[in-house]
Amino acid sequence: MTKLLIASTLALLCTSALADSPTMKVGFKVDGGKDQRHYTVALVDKACGAVENKVITPGPGANTRDQIKVCANVEKAGVRLDVEWELHDAGRDISNKSQMFIARGTTQELDGGTAKLAVTLL
Predicted confidence at residue 18, as pLDDT, reads 43
Predicted confidence at residue 20, as pLDDT, reads 55
> What does DSSP assign to residue 40?
E
How many domains, in total, are found in the chain?
A: 1
pLDDT in tens, the chain (122 residues): 433 333 333 333 344 444 456 899 999 999 976 788 999 999 999 999 999 999 887 776 678 899 999 999 999 878 999 999 999 987 789 999 999 999 999 999 999 888 899 999 99
Structural domain includes residue 5: no
Structural domain includes residue 105: yes
The domain in which residue 97 lies consists of 23-121
Structural domain includes residue 16: no
Structural domain includes residue 113: yes
Q: What DSSP string describes 65-87?
A: EEEEEEEEEEETTEEEEEEEEEE
Structural domain includes residue 1: no
Structural domain includes residue 11: no
Predicted confidence at residue 10, as pLDDT, reads 35
- Helix count (H) and strand count (E) of the chain? 1, 8
Structural domain includes residue 2: no
Predicted confidence at residue 4, as pLDDT, reads 36
